[in-house]
């Protein structure tokens, strides 16, 4: 990544290109830092500065500051007055509340409209199933690095079938935060094979069959499994 210079903002001029480039950098840096948090390489409580990140990626301060503000809006970092930013330290109570919120939203959706799931097209369903297969393989193998990305993509694409982008974005944010909390504890485990939830394919089958009761049951199982696993890991540790 490289920083961009400023320019005069005339019709289609260098100012427009500079703004587009800066926004692209902003998104790229935000995604890179989010991945670092989800991988546990930026641990909870870690303090970072705009200069540190700008030097690390070889870019100017502006897109870095904007990226960190975006991550703060997602609840992944906290802005500290005159000190920069800190990776947000989630607690087990936070995790319990996030899992509860996920469950309540999904339950509310299907209570108000049991037929809420839109009939997916062949292409959309094929894409979700590919994510499900990759997530399932990584889950069974206990490979967190591969699982996290596919799991988030799977739920994001599946959530789009609800037809409400606000709900989908809210649930995606909760899942990112849940992973940010869970990863450091899960990495302490010597072997995660067979211990991670792998009902992705079964959930796609239920969606394809337009079976709201089965969809609810599988999502409830996912939420319960997430909470029970983290509580056990933390208790054993």
CA distances from 72 to 10, 57, 84, 146, 223 (A): 32, 19, 11, 25, 25
**Bridge partners, 6 (sequence order):** none
pLDDT per residue as tens digits for the range 176-214:
999 999 999 999 999 999 999 999 999 999 988 888 889
pLDDT for 19: 55
pLDDT per residue as tens digits for the range 34-45:
999 999 999 999
Which class is 14-87 in CATH?
mainly alpha
How far apart, in Å, do the first and last CA atoms of the chain sit? Answer: 39
Domain with CATH 1.20.120.530 in the chain: 92-236
pLDDT for 110: 76
Cα separation of 30 and 28, whole Å?
Answer: 5
Cα separation of 39 and 144, whole Å?
Answer: 8
pLDDT for 111: 76
65-95 burial, b at 16+ Cβ within 10 Å, e below that, comes to bbbbebbeebbbbbeeeeebbbbbebeeebb
pTM: 0.85
Cα separation of 54 and 97, whole Å?
Answer: 34
Burial class (CB in 10 A: 0-12, 13-18, 19+), 11: exposed
Positions of the chain with pLDDT under 50: 2-12
pLDDT for 6: 38
Where does 113-211 have alpha helices with state H?
122-141, 144-160, 165-186, 200-208
Nearest to 88 by CA among 121, 48, 126: 48
Residue with tokens 């991988």: 39
Domain with CATH 1.10.10.10 in the chain: 14-87
| Phi, psi (rounded to 5 degrees) for 164 | -130, 100
What superfamily would CATH give domain 92-236? GntR ligand-binding domain-like (1.20.120.530)
**DSSP per-residue letters across 61-103:** HHHHHHHHHHHHHTTSEEEETTTEEEE----HHHHHHHHHHHH
pLDDT for 224: 95
């Amino acid at each position: 990544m490289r920083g961009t210079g400023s320019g005069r903002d005339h019709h289609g001029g260098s100012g427009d290109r500079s703004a587009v480039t800066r926004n692209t950098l902003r998104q790229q840096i935000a995604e890179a830092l989010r991945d670092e948090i989800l991988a546990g390489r930026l641990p909870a409580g870690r303090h970072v500065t705009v200069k540190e990140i700008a030097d690390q990626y070889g870019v100017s301060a502006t897109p870095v500051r904007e990226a960190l503000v975006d991550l703060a809006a997602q609840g992944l970092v906290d802005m500290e007055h005159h000190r920069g930013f800190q990776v947000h330290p989630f607690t087990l109570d936070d995790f319990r509340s996030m899992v509860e919120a996920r469950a309540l939203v999904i339950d509310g959706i299907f209570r108000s409209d049991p037929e809420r799931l839109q009939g997916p097209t062949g292409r959309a369903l094929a894409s979700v199933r590919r994510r499900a297969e990759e997530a399932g393989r990584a889950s069974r193998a206990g490979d967190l690095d591969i699982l996290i990305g596919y799991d988030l993509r799977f739920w994001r694409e599946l959530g789009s079938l609800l037809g409400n982008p606000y709900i989908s974005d809210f649930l995606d944010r909760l899942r990112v935060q849940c992973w940010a909390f869970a990863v450091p504890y899960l990495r302490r485990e010597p072997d995660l094979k067979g211990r991670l939830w792998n009902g992705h394919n079964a959930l796609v089958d239920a969606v394809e069959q337009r079976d709201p009761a089965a969809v609810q049951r599988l999502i409830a199982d996912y939420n319960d499994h997430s909470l029970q696993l983290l509580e056990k890991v933390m208790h054993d540790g």
